[in-house]
Amino acid sequence: MARYLYQTALVNYQSRFKMKKSIYLFLLLSFYAQAQPSARNEALHRLFEEYYEDYLRLHPQVATRQGDNRYDDKLPYNVLLLHERTDASLNEVYRFYASYRNRLKKFNSQTLNPEDRISYYILSDMVERSLTSQGLQLNQLPVNQMLTVPLTMAQLGSGRNSHPFKTVKDYENWLKRVEAFAQWTESAIGQMQKGLKTGIVLPRVIVERVIPQMENLATLNEVQKSVFWGPIHNMPDHFQEEERKILTAAYEKAIKTQLVPSYRKLANFLRQEYLPKARSTTGLYALPNGDKIYRYFINLYTTTRLTPEDIHQLGLREVARITTELEALKAEMGFEGSLKELFRAIEQDPKYHPYNTKEEVLDAYRGIQAKVEPHLPALFGVSPKAPFEIRETEAFRAASASAEYFGALPDGSRPGIFYIPILDATKMGLAEERLFLHEALPGHHFQVSLQHENTKLPRFQRHGWFGAFLEGWGLYTESLGELLGCYTDPYQKLIARGGGGEMHRAIRLVVDTGIHTGRMTREEAIDYMMDHEVISEREAILEIDRYIARPGQALSYKIGELKIKELRDKYQRQLGDRFSLRSFHDAILLGGAMPLTVLETYLDQWAAEQ
């Protein structure tokens, strides 16, 4: 009853009541306080902990990424089984999620305190979404050029990622993962062969991107030049000489007899058997149940029930709005041609390509860091303890990679890393302030690190991931640039609005939905992108192929950003002079990642407490 009164009071305040704001807030908080149980539900928290323990056993690579080394000798459960038994492993995953759905239903969310209720909503959402993915046969599409096991193995095995190489056991664990990868190769090929029969087949353009990656990792001129030789080259000094000899011989054998043959087998299969049968279409619409698969990915990445049509139309409106702003900026810059001509002039102007070396590119981004850091305390009352670094993306994946953030380990043993792919420094544009704000500070580094460091959250929340929240926050922080000492240069302002920034994310709503519903061909999507932002043809092609490989992921940015701005404006209206942007930011960061629907419930609670 008290909860009902609270909700009624909120509605009435917004629509009818004229009482003074201070009186209303007093009554609202009173109603709200009466509605909230205060005791932590210990049975529910035991379920949270059991869930996460079971989850890590099924997803050992996640444990490794978080610094939990209990499963460093394993790959995911459904990876270890050969393809004849993969369906059985998928059934095991289904039983895992179905079991926790049933256990969660035994709790009444309305009897939980505010913190437990939010956690309950988040886990329920995760479980239901995972169950939805069952039966879509996505395991028949096991590779792409972005994020799949073969590329993850190269990252882990380089010795510069989350798999530790500090003890002899660490090295032995990696060798066991290499054995599991050989099994994964068999499983992946078997699933793709099955896909050729069911019609669930990768687009030709994606296969053509994957093959060179696999061939590159299968090359063996000198074992010492392999990316997998990094841990041997950087072996700890405290290892005994005999240990060094044994491990060196074991790694040489593993590279020659397991890793290289696995990559070569995968490359040969893709080139000789799969590529000739790969589909010429690029969107999910062309697959059996393609519409259902795409709606699943939309829900996965946006945590909304928006339809492809909803998102497509939203994208068109956003592109039109931002175009108007860009026209005004163009006039401010004194450029008399069209926006496309302005973009082309910038692309061809040498002053916007000032770098000669990779180190100069990295130094430019370090300069942005120095500019931003003094302004952070005004907008954030909390900041992460985790260290932060800027690095070049590894050569073996740079050709298909975008700038990205890789999270720090909670114990501080690995910093948060902002990776920048640098193929040719002389062709790189000016270091982008909006990109740094998004990927580094105060974007992903603040959000991810503060979430990991918040021990008040259940573990599944501390390490949870929701695309619309994470990428929405990253894009939202780009809009804070002027408050953080950035965008004083017209070029940086143009990039923030119409380059790789806001316009870029609005375009994604149009082209992602366009490609995967059949509205647009790959070529039309590339042309649309180049017509509406400052981007080279090569970059546009890479972007569009990314959306083809990861359907729906690119939608998360704009959908999440717009929701955060909507909620900020909502609470500014409700709270008036009691609203603090700094406190609003802190509330978002300390709550951790969550679905957008749950985020609004969580922030409603925060607003009531103000």
The residue type of 519 is R
Report whether pLDDT(12) > 50.
no
Q: What are phi and psi of 404, to 5 degrees?
A: -155, 165
Report whether pLDDT(188) > 60.
yes
Q: What is the secondary structure of 156-225 as a DSSP string?
A: HHTTSSSS--SSHHHHHHHHHHHHHHHHHHHHHHHHHHHHHHHT---BHHHHHHHHHHHHHHH--S-GGG
Say what the pLDDT of residue 320 is: 96
Per-residue exposure over 336-375, b if at least 16 CB sit within 10 Å of its own CB, e if not:
eeebeebbeebeeeeeebebeeeeebbebbeebeeebeeb
Position with higher pLDDT, 280 vs 332: 280
H or E stretch at 389: strand 388-392
The residue type of 60 is P
- CA dist 480 and 502 (Å) reads 12
Q: What are phi and psi of 405, to 5 degrees?
A: -110, 135
Label each residue of 198-215 as H, E or C: HCCCCEHHHHHHHHHHHH
Model confidence over 59-68: pLDDT tens digits? 898 999 888 9
Report whether pLDDT(396) > 80.
no
Average pLDDT, the chain: 90
CB 315 within 8 A of CB 510: yes
Report whether pLDDT(571) > 50.
yes
Polymer length of the chain: 610
CB 228 within 8 A of CB 247: no
Q: How far is CA 50 from the centre of its chain?
A: 25
CB 532 within 8 A of CB 275: no
- CA dist 158 and 419 (Å) reads 15
- CA dist 293 and 284 (Å) reads 7
Lowest mean pLDDT among 171-180, 279-288, 310-319, 526-535: 526-535
Residue 383 region, left (φ>0) first, then alpha (ψ -120 to 50), else beta?
beta
Q: How far is CA 510 from the centre of its chain?
A: 20
H or E stretch at 579: none
Residue 3: pLDDT band with limits 50, 70, 90: very low
Sequence-separated (6 or more) residues with CB below 8 Å from residue 498: 322, 326, 329, 339, 343, 532, 533, 534
CB 461 within 8 A of CB 420: no
Report whether pLDDT(78) > 60.
no
Locus of tokens 């932590």: 40
Residue 105: pLDDT band with limits 50, 70, 90: very high
CB 163 within 8 A of CB 156: yes
Model confidence over 228-279: pLDDT tens digits? 999 999 999 999 999 999 999 999 999 999 999 999 999 999 999 999 999 9
Report whether pLDDT(345) > 60.
yes
CB 469 within 8 A of CB 122: no
Residue 13: pLDDT band with limits 50, 70, 90: very low
Sequence-separated (6 or more) residues with CB below 8 Å from residue 428: 353, 355, 361, 422
- CA dist 592 and 584 (Å) reads 13
CA atoms within 13 A on the CB side of 195: 27
Position with higher pLDDT, 312 vs 536: 312
Say what the pLDDT of residue 87 is: 58
Lowest mean pLDDT among 19-28, 172-181, 207-216, 358-367: 19-28
Task: Output DSSP code: residue 239.
Answer: S
Report whether pLDDT(114) > 90.
yes
Q: What are phi and psi of 414, to 5 degrees?
A: -130, 130
- CA dist 489 and 329 (Å) reads 12
- CA dist 340 and 322 (Å) reads 14
Model confidence over 499-537: pLDDT tens digits? 678 999 999 999 999 999 999 999 999 999 988 887 889
Report whether pLDDT(292) > 60.
yes
Rg from Cα positions in the chain = 25
Say what the pLDDT of residue 89 is: 60
How much of the chain, in percent, has pLDDT values that exceed 90? 75
Q: Is 81 helix (H, G, I), strand (E, B) or coil?
A: coil
How much of the chain, in percent, has pLDDT values that exceed 70? 91
- Average pLDDT on 122-149 reads 92
- Joined together, the tokens standing for residue 65 give 């990424």
Report whether pLDDT(431) > 90.
yes
- CA dist 482 and 97 (Å) reads 44
CB 259 within 8 A of CB 178: yes
CB 444 within 8 A of CB 481: no
Q: Closest by alpha carbon to 445, among 385, 399, 501, 364?
A: 385
Per-residue exposure over 13-24, b if at least 16 CB sit within 10 Å of its own CB, e if not:
beeeeeeeeeeb
- Joined together, the tokens standing for residue 61 give 């690579």
- Joined together, the tokens standing for residue 67 give 């610094």
Say what the pLDDT of residue 79 is: 43
Q: Closest by alpha carbon to 190, among 257, 139, 134, 261?
A: 139
Based on the number of CB atoms within 10 Å of its own CB, is 379 exposed (0-12), middle (13-18) or buried (19 or more)?
Answer: middle
The beta strands (E) that lie in 432-548 are given as: none
- CA dist 536 and 549 (Å) reads 20
Query: CA torsion 332→334→340→345, rounded to 10°?
Result: -130
